[in-house]
Structures are given as structure tokens and as C-alpha cells.
Structure 1
Amino acid sequence: MFSRKYFAGALSMLAVAALGLTSCAGGLNSSGGNADSAGGAGIDPGATKEQYIAAFADIEPITLDFQYSSTNPKSFSALRDLKWAESVEEWSGGKITIESHAAGAIAKPTEVPGALQDGRLDVAHYYTTYEPQEMAAFVDMSTSLVQLPSSPVVGEFVSHAVMMEVGFNTPEVMANYEDRGMHVLHPANPNGNTSVICRKDQQKSADWAGSQIRGNAAAHEIQAKALGGILTSVELAETYEALERGVLNCSLQSTATAVSVGWLEVAPYISIPKDASFAPGAGALVAGSSWDGLPLLVQQLMFDRMEGYVAGEDFNAIASLKIATETAEKQGGKLDYLDSESEAAIAESNKELLAQVENSKNLDGKAVNAAVASSIEKWTGIAKELGYEEKGGVTDFTQWYEGSVDPEDLEYFEPFAERVYEEIILPQRPK
């Protein structure tokens, strides 16, 4: 296996550049790629950086437009995306230039598929749950993921692997993307298991009564109702002010998101289920119409650099929990488990959600529920085999967490990311 040191040097912040797909010396174009440059010779899996650079010697320079996942280039998810882009550039020996744009700079979340089709974007983070009707099979698959464990280390590693594995292996989910002209690099990539942050400490079941709760997944309506709250639709950019003013009482999302957008300043009470799970609000990394016009070597490089992307994704989920805890405490709040009654209510609502998936008209729900359960068992075993374990609970996580909180230091996460690459990504690698 090749080197795990993906991202040498400081992260360069890429400015918003011209719209459309451009390239030098007859490379790709915005109408879907250059057929003369498509295909060509590939490279074997496990190639080193030096071997990749040598293989790119005869490739004409290519520029790709990439819209990453956040409006904040220093957020956890943006760093993950930008480091992947930087890695692709470096391993191509500079033959690939990726012009990176903040979320919404080129296309609004629901406009991303259109922008990928018409050439305004070539690669993008796509908020799949923002279009539940168009991505109905994906929504049902993501609802089945309430089966995922919610523990802060093993649970997070397992969650990310299961989402990717089940996503790639569910034909109806892949068809949701493909029917809309998207080529999938990663079918389901959250920032971490879902927590609920609130303006006030809601430690009793009665405290949730009438709470206005923001969610980012269709299943959150049922889960918010189970708590005694009401799901409210508020745009990401408007959530800080809504929490600050008390228009919202709480919000469901990953701790990484809560940290990155500053919501813990106004809602510093974080609650996480101990055994049950909130539904994830996953997105995806996808390419557009220009994909088929890319040289095979470029396609393979994008997939091979996904190993680093997965390590960054796991960092987002796990390291952010420590940072979120410390941030909440500075604001007078805390991280804690849901109270037992609320936990039981979520567990009961999850039974209802799984029954809905089983009766889905969008996919084979019974098979998906079984696939999720099987994948959880598999990846829990792999995580433990690699030496990952819970050495405490979320309430004392800052004391026993063994990984780094430096996004440049992914060593703790790389063994698991390597297995994900070998068992899930490699079979999807273009040939």
C-alpha cells in the first residue's frame, strides 16, 4: 500500500475562478469532455506518488471546478474536501488544477446536479437530503442507518464505512445519482453521527415539549416528534440567528457542523444518544458530465486519493467531538447523553422508521435493512481488529481520546481508512 502522508505543506486557499470547465492545450471542455483525451492507459492500484507523476507526463493539463461542502473554507468538511483536491493536484505532478469554490458560490445546494450537467461544475459535494423527492431511494437508505451505533470512536468509524458500503451496493441509490447525470466518488459522507444542540439544558423528557428543532433529514420529523418537539425548516445560513433569537430551540446535526458554523456560541448544550441513533444527514462527493471525457489515469487518481478523504472524514467526526465539548464548556454548556426517557422515545421512533424502509416503494427496504445490519457487524469487527475501542463515554471523551485534533495529523485514522479503501473504494475504481 502506498504512503499515508498525503497532504504535505500548508493548505493553500484557492480563489473563486471563472465559471465552466476549462483546460489548457485541448483538454476538457464544458460540454462534457474531450473524447480524444478520454480513456487511455491507466495505472495499477498502489502506485506511488512518483509513479503517478511519471504516468502523467503525456497528459495535457486539465482544470476542474470543484464546489466543496461548506461556506467556511476552514470548517472540518471544507478542510477534508480541499485536502483531497490538493492531493489530486500534487499526485498529478501539477497536470491537474482544481479550482475550489465555497458551497453556493457556483450553485445552490439544489442546483448542484444541474451545474454538474451543464459544465459549471465538474466535481461537487452534493447535499443529497436537500432533494428528498429526487433522491428518494437515498433518503430511504439513509433512514435505515438509524441502526448505526452512536459511540464516539468505534461507532463513528463504523458509521462512515457502512454508509459508503451500503450506498455503493444499493442499485436504486446509485440510480438516483446516475439518472441525474452524476458519477459517484462517495455515495454518503456525513461529518459524524447526529447530535442535538440546544439553547438550554434539556435533561428531562418534559423539557422537549414544543421545542422548535431544526433537522436535515426526512426521518428527523418523526424523531423530533418522538422527543415532543416540532421539526422546523431553517436554512443552514440562517440557523445561528434563529438559535440566538430563540426562533429555534435546538438543531440536529453533527458536532463538526455545530463547531464549524459557530452554533455552540448560542446553543452550547449537546446531547447524544447512548445506544439509539438519530438519522444521519449525509451528502455525497460526485462528478458531472465531464467525467466521461477525463483520461482514465485522472479518474483512477481521484479514486485513489479517496483514502485520504476518508481519513479526513473520520477525523471530522471524532476529533470534532473533543473540540465541541471544550467549546460548549467555554460557553457555559456541556456534552451529555440524552435522558433515559428521551433515549427510549428515539429508540421506539427508530422502529417505526425501519418499518417504513421495509415497506419502501423506492428500493428493496427489507434487503437494505439487512445489508445495513450486516455491514455494521462487519465493520465493528474490523475496527476492533485494528485496535480501536471505547475507553470511556462521551461525558469524559476529552480525557481518553487518543487521536489528534490537528487536521494535518491523520495517523490515528489512517489504518481504518486503508481498509475502507481496500474493501469498498478499490472495487469501484475505474479500469
Structure 2
Amino acid sequence: MFPLRKGRRRGVVLAGLTVASLALAGCAGSSATEETNAGGASIEYGADKSAYAEALADMEPVTLAIQSTGPKGSATGRRFEDYAAAVEDWSDGKISFEFTYSNGMAPPDEVHLALSDGRLDIGSVMPALVPGDLPAANALGDLSHLGRQTPVDWMLQWHGIMLDLAAAAPDVADEYEEHGMKLLLPAFGSGAYMPYCADPGTSASALDGRGVASQSKVQNKEAKALGMTPTSISYAEMFEGLERGVIDCAYSTVTGAALGGFIPAAPHVAYAEDEGFNSPAGSIAISLARWNELPLAAQQLMYDRLDVLLQANFEGAWENTAAAVTAIHDAGGEMAPFDDDAVARLRAVHEAVETDAARTAEQDWADRIDALGIDGVGTSYEDFPAWYAQGVPDLQPYFDALWDGAMGERRPS
């Protein structure tokens, strides 16, 4: 059953934040295209399914072209499929979807173009792949090291931090609209990035001189601070690079490591619970032209059911995390804490980009997660497979917290 939204909307927790305080880059040129809709009734936040169906009863049916990043039925593709199913169900069939799987319509670095020119209606845009087009989103991504780095805590805290910061920086949404897109979900991730290495190493001296496949400019800085040599190797080439010894390590999430199959070649993983690595994230966007054609209630429905997308994203990431931890142990590896010298070097890199606003968001969501009392918060990677085997806990209190803050403030109205 798809979750129902509950609770009241309130002001943005970080309402005092500004683009300047976040140090996000603005976009040059004209202002963004004005957002519109086809009119119609507005649905109160938290309404049940029947309210949406009634409001959309006279809507002309529409089929939206959506692209999934994964194969049909895969853990990584589940978020798109569950989201589409929820929207179709709650719209009583007025909104349906035509799927392309495994980035079959547009490669990751061209999804923004496909949304703008009409090849796609909905897709996942990776700002890190197009920094020249989305500078504000990339500046937001410079803060993506924030949050606790344990598996349950990261997913909950990191998304809260990034969604709050994005809502407080209108330049992020504006630049999407300047490129013909409406930003639905500013950021989603599949777990913390860590170096997966062929040999053990948790100190800066042990890591010195190792080559590492890096995924972003900030990760390059983090690698160099640890004495490592970053190199640009695509995700698809990591397995071969590690197998052949072209690189010694690769920055990856547990999801990337599990799906990439390179854990047997690089089973030694290091991380610091309170000091993360830059985590290039995806976003969910819809063609702005298509969005403006939809009735207001349809826009609200597509926005409100992002909770289903996030739920599926969390479940898929945790499924892959359990598999990755097991594979690491089976390969004779470990997930070990960094030594203090390595943590200090990472901290120095992060202090150069963090602001008071970012640290406030981090602490705010740490406190919220602790207060929610969700089972699994604080679970270590070592204990994670056993926790996961018990089943994913009820995340409705978490989604209530998201929509009670910045996500609620961004809701179409």
C-alpha cells in the first residue's frame, strides 16, 4: 500500500538561509521560465487518494515518457517503477507512464537535453556530469559529504540535509527551468561514498601514492588530501581497472560496488562515521513544457508521491548494502574506520566549502533523526545485514518530517 501523507505544513526549518549563505553559484542570463499549470482544483496536503481522483476526474488522460536508470525490476530501478505505479493509481489512471529502462533513451549526461527537447518527460539528471549547465546544483553538491556515514543514518539524514539546503537556494530550481526542466526532487542518493581498495589502508601514510577512480572535483581534492592520485575512470570501467591494477582503489557507494561486481578485487573499505566523502547525487526532473500543461492537482499528486520514490530508493539502497557487506566479508575484506590523521585531512578539505548554514542543517537533521526513534538508527555496517534481515521499518514519521519542512514549502500551489 502506498503511504498517505499526514501532518501539517509549516515554515522551512532553515528559512533564514539564502543563496549567498550557502555559497551556491548563481546562473547568468535571463530569469527562469515562469511556471504555470492548466488550472483546476487545489488538493490539500495530506488528502487521501479519493480526493485526487475526484479532482482529476475530468482531466484528459496523459502518458508520460519516463526513463529508469536501471533494468526493469532491479533494485536501482524500483524507485521509478514504484513512483509511476503510485501516481497512476492515485490519479485513477489519468496519468500513465511509458518506460525506457537502463538509460536507453538518453545517457546520463544527456538526460537534461532529452527533457528539454521532448524525448523524455521524466528522468534522473546528474548535475555532476553537466557542471557548466547546472552550476548552482553542483555548488549544492559540494556539500554532499555531510551527515553520518553509517548505513541507516546516512540515508535519512543526508536526504533531509540536501533537500532543505536546495529549498533554501532558489538558484538551484531556477537553473533547471532555464534549461526547460521542472525540478521535482533536488537530490537523491544510494549511500555514502567510500574508497574500495585492493589492499588494506586506513591511515594517510598507507593510502599515500595509491591511484583512485574519482567521480567528482571535490572527490579529487579529498583524494589528494589523503596522498592519493585521482583519475577519471567511468563506473563501467572500474572493475577492469581494479582487476588489472590500473587503479588501486575506487570511490563508490555500497550500491555501486555491489552492482559493479568489483568487491572481490577491492574488498578493503575505509570510512569515518562523522566525516564523509563527496557524494555526487541524482535529481528527478520533468519537462517544464509538459509540467505546465498539467492541472494543478496533477502537479500536486506527482509531487506528493515522491515519498514513494524515496521509500523505494531507500529500500533498494539497503538491499544492495546488505549484499555488499556480505560480499566484502566473503572476499576477506573489511569496513574499517579511518585513522585520525586521515580524518583530519578530510576535515580540512570540507571546512573550505562548509558554511554555518550547512552545519546548521546537518545538526538539525541529526537531532530530528534521533528524535524520530526509527529502528536501525546507529546501526553499524558490521551489524547491518542482521538488521536488514528483520525488514525495513516504518518510515512514515520520516516522510512526515520531510513534508512538514522544505518539501512541503516547495509543493505546487
Q: TM-score range by the shorter chain?
A: 0.7 to 0.9
Q: Does 1:373 align with 2:372?
A: no
Matched residues in 2 for 1:417 and 1:175: separation?
Answer: 25
Matched residues in 1 for 2:152 and 2:275: separation?
Answer: 15
Aligned position for 1:425: 407
Cα 1:176–1:50, aligned 2, differ >3 Å: closer, same or farther? Answer: same
CA offset at residue 274 of structure 1? 2.4
Matched residues in 2 for 1:75 and 1:197: separation?
Answer: 23
- Contact 2:150–2:378 (CA<8 Å) still a contact in 1? no
Instruction: After superposition, give the CA deviation of every residue in 1:214-242 in whole Å (9 maximum; x if it has no partner).
Output: 22222001001112111111222222222
Matched residues in 2 for 1:333 and 1:73: separation?
Answer: 31
CA offset at residue 321 of structure 1? 3.1
Cα 1:174–1:249, aligned 2, differ >3 Å: closer, same or farther? Answer: same
Give the % identical residues. 28
Larger RCO of the pair (alpha carbons < 8 Å, separation 6+): 2
Matched residues in 1 for 2:175 and 2:55: separation?
Answer: 34
Q: Unaligned stretches of 5+ in structure 1?
A: 7-31, 355-368
CA offset at residue 275 of structure 1? 1.9
Aligned position for 2:131: 132
Q: Does 1:395 align with 2:377?
A: no
Deviates more, 1:145-154 or 1:370-379: 145-154
CA offset at residue 303 of structure 1? 0.7
Matched residues in 1 for 2:219 and 2:2: separation?
Answer: 40
Counterpart secondary structure, 1:76: coil
Q: Does 1:291 align with 2:277?
A: no
Aligned position for 2:98: 99
Matched residues in 1 for 2:403 and 2:323: separation?
Answer: 27
Aligned position for 1:11: none
- Contact 2:258–2:321 (CA<8 Å) still a contact in 1? no
Instruction: After superposition, give the CA deviation of every residue in 1:135-167 in whole Å (9 maximum; x if it has no partner).
Output: 222222221233433233334311111101111
- Contact 1:129–1:139 (CA<8 Å) still a contact in 2? yes
- Contact 1:198–1:249 (CA<8 Å) still a contact in 2? yes
Counterpart secondary structure, 1:104: coil
Aligned position for 2:59: 59
Tell me which amino acid in the other structure corresponds to 2:222. Answer: Q
Q: Unaligned stretches of 5+ in structure 2?
A: 6-32
CA offset at residue 348 of structure 1? 2.2
Q: Does 1:177 align with 2:180?
A: no
Tell me which amino acid in the other structure corresponds to 1:129. Answer: A
Aligned position for 2:309: 309
What TM-score comes out, normalization by structure 1 length?
A: 0.81
Instruction: After superposition, give the CA deviation of every residue in 1:336-395 in whole Å (9 maximum; x if it has no partner).
Output: 2223332222122222344xxxxxxxxxxxxxx222222222222211111146455333
Aligned position for 2:81: 82
CA offset at residue 405 of structure 1? 7.4
Cα 1:190–1:155, aligned 2, differ >3 Å: closer, same or farther? Answer: closer
Cα 1:100–1:271, aligned 2, differ >3 Å: closer, same or farther? Answer: farther
- Contact 2:145–2:277 (CA<8 Å) still a contact in 1? yes
Aligned position for 2:19: none
Instruction: After superposition, give the CA deviation of every residue in 1:373-429 in whole Å (9 maximum; x if it has no partner).
Output: 222222222111111464553334445x3x5576xxx54333212211232222212
- Contact 2:111–2:125 (CA<8 Å) still a contact in 1? yes
Aligned position for 1:346: 346
- Contact 2:128–2:280 (CA<8 Å) still a contact in 1? yes
Counterpart secondary structure, 2:284: strand
- Contact 1:69–1:126 (CA<8 Å) still a contact in 2? no
- Contact 1:256–1:324 (CA<8 Å) still a contact in 2? yes
Cα 1:210–1:186, aligned 2, differ >3 Å: closer, same or farther? Answer: same
Aligned Cα RMSD in Å? 2.6
Aligned length: 382
CA offset at residue 124 of structure 1? 0.6
Aligned position for 1:12: none
Tell me which amino acid in the other structure corresponds to 2:366. Answer: T
Cα 1:380–1:135, aligned 2, differ >3 Å: closer, same or farther? Answer: same
CA offset at residue 75 of structure 1? 4.2
Aligned position for 2:17: none
Cα 1:335–1:5, aligned 2, differ >3 Å: closer, same or farther? Answer: farther
- Contact 1:75–1:260 (CA<8 Å) still a contact in 2? no
Matched residues in 2 for 1:339 and 1:101: separation?
Answer: 45
What TM-score comes out, normalization by structure 2 length?
A: 0.84
Cα 1:117–1:197, aligned 2, differ >3 Å: closer, same or farther? Answer: same
Tell me which amino acid in the other structure corresponds to 2:310. Answer: V
- Contact 1:128–1:283 (CA<8 Å) still a contact in 2? yes
Cα 1:152–1:99, aligned 2, differ >3 Å: closer, same or farther? Answer: same
Aligned position for 1:240: 239
Cα 1:39–1:194, aligned 2, differ >3 Å: closer, same or farther? Answer: same
Deviates more, 1:82-91 or 1:132-141: 132-141
- Contact 1:3–1:48 (CA<8 Å) still a contact in 2? no
Cα 1:405–1:143, aligned 2, differ >3 Å: closer, same or farther? Answer: farther
CA offset at residue 306 of structure 1? 0.9
